[in-house]
Amino acid sequence: MTHELKKIFTAYQEARGQGIRCVLATVVALEGSSYRRPGVRMLILENGKMIGAVSGGCVEKEVYRQAETVFKDDIPKVMTYDGRYRLGCEGILYILLEPFCPEKVVVDHFWNTIADRKAFDLQSHYKKEHSVDRNYGSFLEMDGHLHSFRDGFSAKLPKMEIYRQNMPPCFRIVLIGAEHDAVQLASFAAMTGWEVTVIAHPREEKQKKDFPGVSDFILSDGETLDLVIDKETAIMLMTHSYAKDLKYLLALQDQYPAYFGLLGPTRRREKLFSSLLEHHPDVPEEFISQIHGPAGLDIGAETPQEIALAILAEILAVTRQKAVISLREKEGTIHA
């Protein structure tokens, strides 16, 4: 959800520059089931534009209507939305609506935290009832300090419920390769909200503009890779060149990302691993065993777009530790 908050801050900065006021909607509690869970947010602009969503689209009009009083008097409120008779989700949503106007120092601190790939926390103070209260509101907690979403809002609040949420760095995928399938995977990953870094060999004569939506573009032949790989990063090796793949593998032999994928058939993978061990017999077994190759789930993918979907699906399953089954075969709730 960190990527959704990035979009909200970006939209807020644009709106503020135009003198347009904003209200933030946050789902702080849920009874029953819903399309999305607590922690999702939507920014509402005074001109009617909305950034993000708190449901599949069925709740947003009511949220906008309820936000009108917040725009009018600048007092936060909690609204309830009972979907048991209107939605297929059969849940009751509790949504905090509050003026959203963080000071520039808070906005700058937020973007610095994002750039440094640091985790941070959010907390929203509210009562689980349809009500209006000046003491409702949310805070960013970064580097041990609370920063309010609106000027003058204090953390010294009466006793009430607090929804807390830890926000890890944005999930990132590092794509090593610049062929057509890498372009498709980069595009799909960017649409998912992931930060995308593409590493291309200098001889491929590719540029950042060839990969719409990417955050970073690096030219490297694999001799050195100056990358900071954390547990919110996936690596996908897909150069279509055996020699290049081997060189990049040698450069990455000390890295343990959240997911490490290798494009190509099983025989090619085994040949690569054999060559890797010939060059460096002391490569840890853990490094080799972490690699998913051939990468992707078996969904019958044929086209570059379908292959991208298969790879993205496997990354999600691995990073969220999910056994892959059809939802119709799952017992209990979808999000459990």
pLDDT tens sequence across 146-186: 899 988 787 666 778 999 999 999 999 999 999 999 999 99
Is CATH 3.40.50.150 correct for 172-319? no
Q: Residue 334 pLDDT > 70, yes or no?
A: no
Q: In angstroms, rounded to a whole number, what is the distance separating the alpha carbons of residues 315 and 12? A: 31
pLDDT band at 223 (very low <50, low <70, confident <90, very high): confident
CA nearest neighbour of 94 among 30, 145, 45:
30
Dihedral pair phi/psi, residue 102, rounded to 5° = -60, 145
Q: What pLDDT was estimated at residue 71?
A: 96
Q: In angstroms, rounded to a whole number, what is the distance separating the alpha carbons of residues 305 and 312? A: 11
Question: In the numeric block, which tokens belong to residue 57?
Answer: 């689209």
Q: Residue 192 pLDDT > 60, yes or no?
A: yes
For residue 328, the Cα-to-chain-centroid distance in whole angstroms is 26
pTM exceeding 0.75:
yes
State the span(s) of the chain assigned CATH 3.40.50.720. 172-319
Q: What pLDDT was estimated at residue 37?
A: 78
Q: What pLDDT was estimated at residue 157?
A: 66
pLDDT digits (tens, 9 = 90+) for 19-43: 999 999 999 998 866 656 788 899 9
Q: Residue 99 pLDDT > 60, yes or no?
A: yes
